[in-house]
Amino acid sequence: MSFLHDFLNFIFPPHCSICKKYLEADEKIVCNECFNGIPVIVPPFCARCGKPTGGENVCNDCIKNPHQFTRLIALSEYGDVARDFVLLFKNRQKLSLGKRLASLMAVLIKQDEFIFSADVIIPVPIHRVVRRQRGFNQSEILATEISKITGIPMINDTLVQVKRTQPQKSFSGKDLDREVRKEKRTLNVKDAFTVKNSEAVKNKRIIVVDDVCTTGATLDECSRELYKAGAEDVYAVVIAKV
């Protein structure tokens, strides 16, 4: 890049944000070894929520509480490694890391004929006040890159968040019962989203993009709104599934 950039790299050699090892010239933010260490989900996984299963086509959770979206694909399970990546990308504005993660998500989409034939990509929106504070919407960064790689157009101003919500992770306390947690998360995002322009989604097969799917409450709520506006089918793609 610039002389100053080279000089600073010489004085303060960049190190991997995960393992702290010095980075090679072709590595950015995270070393290749750490990046390749993301535990990618491999079959068998649930045909609905993407979670690894013992071989069943649809997991018990999805049989008991079916999701609104037809299918979800997740790059990784939300363990320690995926959490480090998501937090790095989201909270420290390591946006280029988001692009790298998005390129892996795009590969998953391309491998899935059904989802790859979708009409549009829509990022899960955040409230405009949160966006102003944070400066970016992490889902939009993922969706933009996925759209570029897959050629599926992204629409970004149609699904909007109209109600301010608590961060879903604030309902993850271990003292809370699993069902109570799920209920609180569902209630938190209830009526939080709306479709501004139904024409843009009418009769469309849509991929909704988010960073993490925990109970699926946010993605279910977005899907419900998209169906209400006339969407034909809704799928979801995320970095990590809890």
From CA 97, how far away is CA 8, in angstroms rounded? 21
Q: Which residues contact 179 (CB under 8 A, 6 or more apart)?
A: none
Judged by beta carbon, residue 26 or residue 175, the one nearer Zn ion is 26
Residue 226 in contact with Zn ion, rule: CB under 5 A: no
Q: Classify 41 as helix, strand or coil.
A: coil
Judged by beta carbon, residue 31 or residue 86, the one nearer Zn ion is 31
Judged by beta carbon, residue 62 or residue 97, the one nearer Zn ion is 62
Q: Quick one: which of 29, 38, 41, 49 contacts Zn ion (CB under 5 A)?
A: 49
- Contact by Cβ (8 Å): 194, 227: no
Nearest to 208 by CA among 3, 2, 195: 195
In whole angstroms, the minimum distance from the beta carbon of 126 to Zn ion comes to 26
Residue 18 in contact with Zn ion, rule: CB under 5 A: yes
Q: Write down how long the chain is.
A: 242
- Binding-residue total with Zn ion (CB under 5 A): 10
What are the tokens at 234? 């809704």
Residue 152 in contact with Zn ion, rule: CB under 5 A: no
From CA 208, how far away is CA 154, in angstroms rounded? 10
Judged by beta carbon, residue 21 or residue 228, the one nearer Zn ion is 21
Residue 34 in contact with Zn ion, rule: CB under 5 A: yes
Judged by beta carbon, residue 46 or residue 229, the one nearer Zn ion is 46
Q: Quick one: which of 7, 9, 19, 22 contacts Zn ion (CB under 5 A)?
A: 19
Residue 74 in contact with Zn ion, rule: CB under 5 A: no
Nearest to 209 by CA among 102, 104, 107, 117: 102
Q: Quick one: which of 29, 38, 41, 62 contacts Zn ion (CB under 5 A)?
A: 62
Residue 48 in contact with Zn ion, rule: CB under 5 A: yes
Q: Classify 33 as helix, strand or coil.
A: helix
In whole angstroms, the minimum distance from the beta carbon of 145 to Zn ion comes to 22
Strand ranges, E, within the chain: 71-77, 120-123, 159-161, 193-195, 205-213, 233-241
- Contact by Cβ (8 Å): 70, 79: no
Residue 46 in contact with Zn ion, rule: CB under 5 A: yes
Q: Which residues contribute to the site for Zn ion (CB under 5 A)?
A: 16, 18-19, 31, 34, 46, 48-49, 59, 62
